[in-house]
Chains A and B, each alone.
Chain A
Amino acid sequence: EDQVTQSPEALRLQEGESSSLNCSYTVSGLRGLFWYRQDPGKGPEFLFTLYSAGEEKEKERLKATLTKKESFLHITAPKPEDSATYLCAVLRGGSNYKLTFGKGTLLTVNP
């Protein structure tokens, strides 16, 4: 069974304090790993797709990386507006549609 484990469950940072969120996964034939941001009361917002180990994607203060067992979302010099829940999901290869989400990491950035 595919599994996605995100850690920590919650992270509190001071503005400007860089850190990383972790997404470890087990999946049969990874087709892609996806990062989302979710604000309270809103639907998830797509951030990045990573397809293979060694790949990196960047967007503003966020950088996502991928290895064969995990992905990291690095947040550099975060601002309060980066506060949100960050979700990770993996897509299994094959003909049947199977996208498995983690439970998320709640990030709070204090000014």
Chain B
Amino acid sequence: DAGITQSPRHKVTETGTPVTLRCHQTENHRYMYWYRQDPGHGLRLIHYSYGVKDTDKGEVSDGYSVSRSKTEDFLLTLESATSSQTSVYFCAISAGGGLNTGELFFGEGSRLTVL
């Protein structure tokens, strides 16, 4: 257990509304990631963070922004949700301590439905 908590776990919202998903970790990990998982696709990286206020884009970052004002919290924001953003969102931390790793600990996921 890497001490990752995602909230909310489930959310239904309407097109055009803003949505923020929170990832909280308790073990002071430096590197954090947001992925989305959709049927017919592998997990895809949205954004990642390599420290407080240090973030970068992943392969599917359009329509998403992130913030990391504290080590323990990594927020994912959909400024104006669209139906194509209906997905399960996973937060992850680097298990080995480095950024460039595939050894990740994932949270339990946040299921978002945009109507």
Contacts and interface: CB of A to CB of B under 8 A. Distances in A.
A31 B100 contact: yes
Interface string B31-43: 0000000001111
B95 A101 contact: no
Interface residues of A, number: 24
A87 B105 CA distance: 14
B45 interface: yes
**Interface SS of chain B:** loop
Given A100-B42, A101-B44, A34 B102 contact: yes
Contacts of B108: 41-43
B42 A43 contact: no
Given A41-B109, A44-B90, A87 B42 contact: yes
Interface residues of B, number: 24
Interface string A33-63: 1100000011111100100000000000000
A4 B42 CA distance: 9
B109 to A, nearest CB: 5
Given A46-B104, A91-B100, A102 B42 contact: yes
Contacts of A44: 43, 90, 104, 106
Nearest to B109: A43
Interface string B96-115: 00011111111111000000
Contact of B43 (A31, A32, A45, A87): A87
A49 B100 CA distance: 13
Nearest to B104: A46
A15 to B, nearest CB: 28
B74 interface: no
A103 interface: yes
Interface of A: 4, 31-34, 41-46, 49, 87, 89-91, 97-104
Interface of B: 40-45, 48, 56, 58-59, 90, 92, 95, 99-109
25 contacts: A4-B42, A31-B102, A32-B101, A33-B102, A42-B108, A43-B90, A43-B106, A43-B109, A45-B106, A46-B104, A46-B105, A49-B102, A49-B103, A87-B43, A89-B43, A91-B100, A91-B101, A91-B102, A99-B45, A99-B102, A100-B42, A101-B42, A101-B44, A103-B41, A104-B42
